[in-house]
Amino acid sequence: MAKTLQSVLIVDDSPISRKMLKSCFPKDRGYEFHEAGDGQQGLDLYKELRPDLVTLDLTMPVMDGVTALSEIRAFDPDATIIVCTADVQEKSLLEVTQRGAFLILPKPPSKVSVLEALTKVEESA
């Protein structure tokens, strides 16, 4: 059975990046978006809202994305987290994969790359 995604938490310190990512999601699916500007806010909102999907930048103030990823996964091992980052260093990508990222979405995102990622998430259930 396919996983149904309804609520999405976008964690990125750049309001422009959050807006750009939201604009790449299909408009006809009725997603409920929540936003956080750093990893700590993202962790707090995750615990409060338990969204179906988290997109997470790596480079942020207060708490970086790698730490937030680990903290969210410690709280909920079943959390579905997509790392959306411009950091394409192999070491960084390997680290987030080992810490439980579902997949890595390069920045800037496109409607096609987001749709492909959503399809993978929905088919993984």
What integer is the mean pLDDT of 97-123? 91
* pLDDT tens-digit map of 74-107: 999 999 999 998 877 778 778 888 988 999 998 8
Report if pTM > 0.85.
Answer: yes
In degrees, rounded to 5, the angle at the alpha carbon of residue 5 between the alpha carbons of residues 52 and 111 is 110
- Please give the pLDDT value at position 3: 65
CATH class of the region 7-120? alpha beta
Q: Contact, 63 vs 43, CB < 8 A?
A: yes
Q: Contact, 45 vs 23, CB < 8 A?
A: no
Query: Is 98 in a helix, a strand, or coil?
Result: helix
The chain-wide mean pLDDT, for the chain, equals 91
Q: Which of 3-7, 23-27, 65-69 is least confident?
A: 3-7
